[in-house]
A = this chain, B = another copy of it.
Amino acid sequence: MKKYKILLVIADGLGDRQVKQLGNKTPLEAADKPNIKELLKSSFVGLMDPIAPGIVAGSDTSHLAIFGLDPHIYYRGRGALEALGAGGEVYQGDVAFRGNFATVDQELNVTDRRAGRTIDEGNELVKELNSRIERIKGVKVRFYKGTEHRVAVVLSGSGLSDKISDTDPHEVGKKVLDSKPLDSSIEAKRTSEIVNELTKKIYEVLSASEYNKKRIEKGLPPANIVLLRGASTYLELPKIHDYAHLSAAAVSATALIKGVCKAIGMHVYTPEGATGGLDTNYDAKAEKTAQLLKEDKYNFVFLHIKATDAASHDGKAEEKVKAIEKIDRAIGKILDIAGSEYVILFTGDHATPVELKEHSGDPVPVLLYVPENIISDNLLDFNEREARKGSLRIRGLDVINLLLSYSNRASKYGA
């Protein structure tokens, strides 16, 4: 039995509904997909519920499920995964936050929740925060710069809790909030006190920063606070090498997805020009993916593309069609470079219908290509409508098992 390597391609928010602007086609129906159609000659096709029918999945919970880990057991919130993805060191029990550089007045009223959104001095400001604020009440504090105005903040130490409220008032004109404990534990009380002291220090450091003085001189809103939200405790996750015996690499530019991949022990690569947006460099991602597939040390390569979801959240149907066409070309490029002797699964992590602009609980089309000897569903196109005719009706948690089985890498369950 030949053991195939595995290529998993996830187009974020791929699933959709019929779109008026596309003549009642879905973006997948409207898109030209010659390479994906070629795969259909030896593929199973069908529908996947990322979590369960009707459950509106986030990208983190759905990726965990697709990677074989039940989010009901392993998911503890987004913050710690995103911090990990942004390059943070995060360990079991650490509490992480999603943060925004923002602008406040002297009374700490928020005047701009994103400090103008583009913050060229972000790296320097994060460096200043890290050098001037090291520990509070014995707890280590680390800042990590994300994209645009985003900053991840990690508290490391014992006796911390994520059961505390945000300092982010989520609205302009309101004052930065005191973090409050959300249960009666000593840990929550202590963590909220640390966060409130941290907020004061952040303001002291940032409002005194020369970089912000220069921003004010240029007429830009100073990035003089970091608003914190979504406290989450980091739970050490099982590693894909252990539970699925896969040596896995991931290609992604999205902090949250990179965090999930790192947390389960994948090696994560972000090639030059990969942005996690509509302007991402598809060629660079395809080339990196192909190169990793060819490397002896990996037998599982995961390519994540965020553009489809980004287009959906913006309600841009045509952009979503274009993104799908570029993903099709990227798949073509990968196979051109690395050959097509792989088990390939292409799907979305959830639906983000462009007319809704939000995630939905709709099932997502899934395509499972096996190079030889399967009874192919022989569908002529791959989209939401055609997929109903296919033979697969699975859940996210089934994906890894299907990939292991059809790549001849599964262990028998029982005797």
Contact = CB atoms under 8 A, between A and B. Distances in A.
B18 A373 contact: yes
A402 to B, nearest CB: 4
A54 B391 contact: no
Interface in A45-74: 47, 51-62, 71
Interface in A106-130: none
Interface of A is mostly: loop
Nearest to A405: B361
Given A47-B391, A52-B401, A55-B401, A361 B406 contact: yes
A344 B138 CA distance: 56
Looking at A54, A56, A60, A385, the one whose CB has the most chain B CB atoms below 10 A away is A54
A415 interface: yes
A58 B392 CA distance: 22
Interface stretch (A190-198, A202-210, A325-333, A351-359): A351-359
Contacts of A20: 373
Please tell me how many copies of the chain the complex holds.
Answer: 2
Interface string A15-27: 0011110000010
Nearest to A370: B17
Contacts of A356: 1, 408
Interface residues of A, number: 62
Given A358-B1, A393-B393, A414 B54 contact: no
Contact of A413 (B55, B230, B388, B400): B55
A361 B411 CA distance: 10
B360 A405 contact: yes
Given A18-B373, A18-B375, A61 B413 contact: yes
16 contacts: A17-B373, A18-B373, A51-B413, A52-B398, A53-B392, A54-B404, A54-B410, A55-B401, A56-B413, A57-B413, A61-B414, A71-B413, A359-B412, A361-B406, A375-B384, A388-B391
Interface of A: 1, 17-20, 26, 47, 51-62, 71, 75, 77-78, 230, 256, 353, 355-363, 373-375, 377, 384-385, 388, 391-394, 398-406, 408, 410-415
Given A56-B410, A60-B414, 6 more contacts: A18-B375, A51-B413, A56-B413, A358-B412, A361-B402, A361-B406
